Amino acid sequence: MAEIIGRRPLSKKDDLKRLLESTRRYYELFSDEYVEFYENWRSGLGAFSNSEYRRGYDRVAEILKEIVRYNQLILDLGCGVGTWSILMAEAGANVIGIDYSREALLKYKEYSKKSGVEHKVSEVLSDGFYLPFMGETYDGLTLNWVLAHIPHNYSGSFLLEVARVLKTGGWVMVSDSYWRGQEGGREQVQTRRSRMGTFHVYKYYYTPEELESLLKNTLGEVLQTETTPYEMLCIAKKKQPRTF
């Protein structure tokens, strides 16, 4: 699995476009390893042998099972290989998984078929800033380990696009790592090494209070926020139609 071998603060000298391209390439090449990563979660191996680390992923699963309703239409934005899409489909939802990685979506299709829920899920190749859907379409939307890789200065416009496709009264669940004083600062460049090579990855660490404020400003209401030793989970609700 990939290893973080360096962290440093993002500087004005960094070429953000190039950094985001490196981040994207890293996740495109990492799809095979992510299948193994989530298999380790289920079996408690690798990083998940640490019960505190595993707790965050377990809580995501528990909360999704609580809030997902039968036949809801849910958008899994940044779906990766489809772990959370499959969990929601197994709970009775109809799920659209969207990602910018063709490699991840191929695994998504393979994984959903293997799990027997291929009739409940569909995959779409697209960028999250320009979602190819009509407004007020989805009952719910997930952002699992996605928002931290969106440049902080653009997170508001990103979430407004999320709000556009969400029905009034619909929910959004955000899960991600959060600011705990990590080396490298809140907005940082991580150097990650894996068997595919070494990559520079953009990462921003929100505080719980900052994330709540961002979600209130773009969606309207925050219903629940909690933290585990490594992860932060937040559920928001689109309170009223927004003008775009």
Among 178, 158, 153, 177, CA closest to 219: 158
Cα–Cα dist 111/83, whole Å: 8
Residue-range domains of the chain with CATH? 3-238 (3.40.50.150)
pLDDT at 191 over 90: yes
Mean pLDDT of 183-190: 97
pTM (2 decimals)?
A: 0.95
Cα–Cα dist 178/240, whole Å: 28
pLDDT at 200 over 90: yes
* pLDDT tens-digit readout, 94-127: 999 999 999 999 999 999 999 999 999 999 999 8
Torsion of CA 68, 150, 100, 39, to 10 degrees: -60
Predicted local confidence at residue 241, as pLDDT:
56
Cα–Cα dist 79/101, whole Å: 10
